[in-house]
Structure 1
Amino acid sequence: MKIKIVLAVLLSLSSLAHAQRAGSVGGCDIRRGTLCTNANLNGAQLAGVNLSNSQFTRSDLSGADLSGATLNEANFSSCELVGTNFANASMFRINLRSARLTGAKLMGADLRNAVLQNADLHQADLSGAKLANADLTNARLEGARLDGADLQRANLRAAKLKGASLVGANLKGAILTRAVLIDADLSGANLDQAIFLNTQTEGCIGCP
């Protein structure tokens, strides 16, 4: 009986350790708080891992699967994230400054207070994403999908949203000064208190 109890405890500890640490991928120790700058993690399978407070600056995670991962306050600045899957990931206060997220999948991701200055998100899918208080200054969002996204008080100053879809998005209090919304679709969006100073809105559906 005692042996069974000991084995059960060991198995439990083993499972916990595996949940906290996914092992080494591309020479990078996959765990919370890891330091993996300039790493090659192209196509890595990292769904559901906890990488909060980690550093991935200038790394290549193009095509990687980070769906459902916890990436709170992690640093992915200047990373290659083309086609990366971040669906339903927790990315609170993540740093994605100047990251290339072309065609990335961010559906339902929690990007509240995220730093996305100068990030390239054209053709990315951010449907239903939480972007309240996010900084998207000068971000490229041409052709991006933001349907149903929460962009309350988001900073979209000088953001390029040509042809983007923001159907039903919540833009309450958002700053869109000098943003480009040419041919964008804001049908049903909440624009209460949003700032459209010097915004380009030619062909925009639902723009004021």
Structure 2
Amino acid sequence: MARRAAGGGGTAVKAARRPEVRLPSLEPYGGGELEPDGDYDGLEFRGTDFAGQDAAGARFMDCALTACALDETSLRRVRLLDSVLTGLRGVGTDLAEATLRDVELVDARLGGTQLHGAALERVLIRGGKIDYLNLRRARLKDVVFEGCVLVEPDFGGARLERVAFVDCAVKEADFSAAACTDVDLRGAAPLEIARGVDRLAGAVISPAQLLDLAPVLAAELGVRVLAEQ
């Protein structure tokens, strides 16, 4: 159900639609390296090290990836559909221009993940920590960040529609040139915005967050805040 924005004059916030992934019986992955433009359907990848491999343009549908390593793995333009990714770890994973639809990403430990130009729809990112997530010019629709830590996420030029932050930490985020529609930031604590606070039209924050962001907003407006003499 949509919740009412604090101080929003009766304007409701449209809630993000969460993915409902129901995996079929899965076959264990037979091993070997991933292949560019490969087709992976109904497979379980468990504890597999994909570091440095190239699976650009591949399709993963009805798959489960659990405790896999993705250091410097190329997954450019990959399609991840109706899949659950649990306990992934890696630095420099390249998911540029990827498509994620009806995907759950749970307890990931990732750094420098490239998702610029990607399309995310009905995606749940729950738990874990992601450092330096690059979502520049990405399209996010019905995306929920829940119980996770995002360190310096980059939403520059991204389009966010029905995106919610629930019980998560957002540190030094960049919203430069972003476009927000029904973006609910009230569940982010802390909520730290390094750049692009002027692009939050269409987002909802709490009264407490407004006070926390007051110095950033004042700086953006060119307002000097001085105590009385």
Shift of residue 45, structure 1, vs aligned partner: 0.8
- Counterpart code for 2:53: A
Answer yes or no: is 1:136 the counterpart of 2:145. yes
* Cross-structure match for 1:76: 85
Whether 1:90 aligns to 2:106 is: no
Retained in 2: the 8 A contact 1:168–1:187? no
**Gapped runs of 5+ residues in structure 2?**
1-30, 222-229
The aligned residue for residue 186 of structure 1 is 196
Residue 136 of structure 2: aligned partner: 127
| Residue type of the alignment partner of 2:199 | A
Which of residues 181, 184, 201 in structure 2 aligns to 1:175? 184
One-letter amino acid of the counterpart of residue 76, structure 2: S
TM-score by length of 2: 0.71
Aligned partner letter, 1:142:
V
The 1:178–1:115 alpha-carbon spacing in structure 2 relative to 1, beyond 3 Å, is closer
Cα distance change, pair 53–98 in 1 and its aligned pair in 2 (3 A): same
Counterpart for residue 116 of structure 2: 107
d(CA) in 2 for partners of 1:187 and 1:202?
10
RMSD: 2.4
Q: CA deviation at 1:93?
A: 1.8
The 1:203–1:44 alpha-carbon spacing in structure 2 relative to 1, beyond 3 Å, is farther
- Tell me if structure 2 keeps the 8 A contact 1:154–1:173: yes
In structure 1, stretches of 5+ residues that fail to align are 1-22
The answer as to 2:213 corresponding to 1:201 is yes
Tell me, what secondary structure is at the counterpart of 1:204?
helix
Structure 1 position 197, deviation (Å) = 5.0
Structure with the bigger RCO (C-alpha within 8 Å, sep 6+) is: 2
Call closer, same or farther: CA 1:129–1:36 in 2, change over 3 Å.
same
1:118 aligned counterpart, secondary structure: strand
Superposed CA deviations along residues 66-103 of structure 1, whole A, max 9, x for unmatched, are 00011112221211132100000111122112112211
- Establish whether residue 51 from structure 1 lines up as the match of residue 63 from structure 2: no
Deviation at 1:162, TM superposition (A): 2.0
Percent of pairs with identical residues: 21
Deviation of 1:192 after TM superposition, in Å, equals 2.1
1:33 aligns with 2:42: yes
Higher strand fraction (1 or 2): 2
Task: Decide whether the 8 Å contact of 1:181 with 1:204 is kept in 2.
Answer: no
1:124 match: secondary structure:
coil
Q: So what's the TM-score if we normalise by structure 1?
A: 0.77
